[in-house]
Amino acid sequence: MANEDAHSNELDALAAIPWVGRAVLLVDLDAFFASVEQLDHPAWRGKPVIVGGHADRRGVVSTASYEARKFGVHSAMPSATAERLCPEAIWTEGHYDRYREMSGKVMAILYDETPHVQQVSIDEAFVDITPTSVNREHPILVARRIQERVEQLGVTCSIGLGTTKSVAKLASDMDKPRGLTVVMPGSEANFMAPLPVRALSGIGAAAEKKLHAIGIETLGDLANADDDVIIGLLGKAGRVMLDRARCEEHAPIEPDDEVKSVSNETSFAVDLTSRDDIEAAIATMAAKVGRRLRRKGLLGRTLALKVRYADFSARSTQRPLGEPCDDEFVFKDMLFDMLDDLWQPGLALRLVGVSVTGFDQSNESEQLSLFDESDPSDDGVSRRDLQKATDRVKERFGESALRYGRELRMHGTDTGTTSKNPADYK
DNA sequence: TCTGGGGTCCTAGGACCC
DNA sequence: TCTGGGGTCCTAGGACCC
C-alpha cells in the first residue's frame, strides 16, 4: 500500500535524526480481547466479533473487533445497543486466562528491551527506551522491532513515541490499529495544543465540563491557563493535568506491582429482593475474594460492601477486620451485618460488591499467612485446610465445581462476569 | 441505549489526640 | 464559660482509567 510505504519512508527519515531527551513508548494492544478470540477462532477473522455480556442480562461490550467498530460498537456500550447496531456480530464471553497468557508474552517482549516497563493494564504499557551510552539505538527502531515481535504472537499493537508519558499516550491514539506515531522532541507543543482537553488521561466528563465552563477547550488552552485557576477548579488533579499539558512529567517508568485492593462485584440479571438471595450472592463473592487473596498471599485489614439499588444509585460501607484476614467465613458474617446498614426488606438490589483493602506494604503479610496456615483449628481439620482444598478443586475444575452450603441457592442466578481481571476467571 | 467489572486516587467531614 | 489549632486517621462517595 502506497500510504504505508510513505509512512515507512517518513519514519526512516525521522530515525536518521538523533533523539534528544527521554524516549517513552505507550504500547497498546489493538482490540485485544477480540483479537485473541480471532486468533483462536480462524473462522472469526475479518468478521465483527464482540467480547461482552448478554444483552438480556444487563451486559455491556468489553471489546469490539475493528470490524464491529465500523458499525459504531465500542467498549462499555450496553450489549442491547450493540446488538441493534451490528446484528451479525459474533458474540463471546471473555476467556481471561487466555488473555492473561497472551498479555504475559507481550510484556516479556517489552522486558526483553528494558526493565523500565510500567504495565498500565492487561493490554497497555509504558516503556522507557531513552538512548544511553550503552545502547544508542534509535527509539523508532526499537518501536518497530517491538511491533514486529508482537505481530509474531498473532496480535497487533499501536505505539506512540514521545518525550513524556502523556505525549506517548496521545500519540498512540492517533493511528489505530497497527499505528506507530512519533512526536519528535521539540514538536510536543504543536502536537498537543489543538487536541481537546478530554483526550488527556485524567480528564473525564466532570473535569471536561468544568474546563469548558471557563472557556478551556484544548490542551493548548490548558497549558496556557493560570495555575491557581486550574488547581482551584480541579484540586490536586489540576496540578497533574497542568504538568501533563506542559510536558513537565518526570516520574520514572518502573514496574508498579503493589496490589491495593481485591474485589468482586456482580450485577444481577434481575434485581434481588429477598434477604436469602442477597446473602447467597454475598457469600459467593466473599468466597471468590478470599480465594484470590490466598492465591496472592494477601491479608486485608478492611472489608467493604457495596450495593447498587434499582434506581442505579449506589452506597457502600466499610469496617476494620480486627486481624489481617483472607478468610471468607469471617468476611461473610461481617458482610451480613453490614448489609443492615445498606438494605431493608422491600429494597431491590441490582448489584452487590465485596472488596478487601489494607494490605501490609512489606512481605509481612506473606509471613503472617504462612504462620497462620500451620495453625490447627479445634476440630483437627482447620478451616484453612478446607479452604485450601477447595481452592485446589476450583483451580482444576472451575468456579462452579464446589460451593459452600447456601451458595448453592444462588446457582443459575449469577449473571456471570465480564471482568477484565484475569485472576477473576476460572 | 439503559447503563460491567476490576482497579487507583482524591476529597470532605468527623473523631480523636495533644 | 465559650472556646484554639494542627495533625492524623477513618469513612463514604465520586472521578477516572482500561
pLDDT digits (tens, 9 = 90+) for A396-425: 555 555 555 445 444 333 333 333 333 333
Q: Is the CB of A415 under 7 A from strand C?
A: no
Do residues A50 and A86 make contact, with C-beta atoms less than 8 angstroms apart? yes
Which residue in the block uniquely carries the three cell numbers 496490589? A259
Contact partners, residue A137, CB within 8 Å, separation at least 6: A131
- Residue A239 CA distance to nucleotide B17 C1' (Å): 32
Say yes or no: do domains A1-185 and A193-245 share a fold: no
Query: Following CA atoms A213, A216, A218, A224 in sequence, which dihedral angle do they give, to the nearest 10 degrees?
Result: -160
Determine if strand C comes within 7 Å of the CB of A76. yes
Fold of A261-425: Dna Ligase; domain 1 (3.30.1490)
Residue A38 φ/ψ region, left for φ over 0, alpha for ψ in the -120 to 50 degree band, beta for the rest: alpha
Q: How many helices (H) and strands (E) does chain A have?
A: 16, 12
Distance A368 CA to B16 C1' (A): 30
Residues 53-82 of A with CB under 7 A from strand B: 53, 58-60, 62, 75-76, 78, 80-81
Which are the contacts of A406, defined by CB distance < 8 A and separation ≥ 6? Answer: A276, A279, A280, A283
Cell numbers standing for residue A350: 441490582
In chain A, where the domains are located: 1-185, 193-245, 261-425
pLDDT band at A389 (very low <50, low <70, confident <90, very high): low
Q: Which bases of strand C have any atom within 7 Å of the beta carbon of a protein residue?
A: 10-18
pLDDT in tens, A351-365: 999 999 999 865 444
Which positions of A are catalytic?
A: 124
Average pLDDT of the residues in A320-331: 96
| A357 CB-to-strand C distance under 7 Å | no
A291 touches strand B (CB under 7 A): no
A236 touches strand B (CB under 7 A): yes
User: What mean pLDDT do residues A195-205 have?
Assistant: 98
The beta strand positions in A170-244, using DSSP E, are 180-182
d(CA A226, CA A214): 12
Q: String of b and e for A248-280 (b: at least 16 CB within 10 Å)?
A: eeeeebeeeeeeeebbbbbbbbebbeeeebbbb
What pLDDT shows up at residue A360? 83
How many Å does it take to go from CA A5 to C1' C7?
A: 63
Res A394: pLDDT: 66
Q: What is the CA A358 to C1' B18 distance in angstroms?
A: 27
The radius of gyration of chain A's CA atoms, rounded to the nearest angstrom, is: 24
pLDDT bucket at A158, cuts 50 / 70 / 90: very high
- Tell me A376's DSSP state: -
**pLDDT-above-90 percentage for chain A:** 82
User: Residue A145: how many CB atoms within 10 A of its CB?
Assistant: 14
From the CA of A320 to the C1' of C7: give the distance in Å.
22
A418 Cβ contacts chain B strand, under 7 Å: yes
For the domain made up of A1-185, the CATH class stated in words is alpha beta
In CATH, the number for domain A193-245 is 1.10.150.20
Q: Which of residues 173-232 of A touch strand B (CB under 7 A)?
A: none
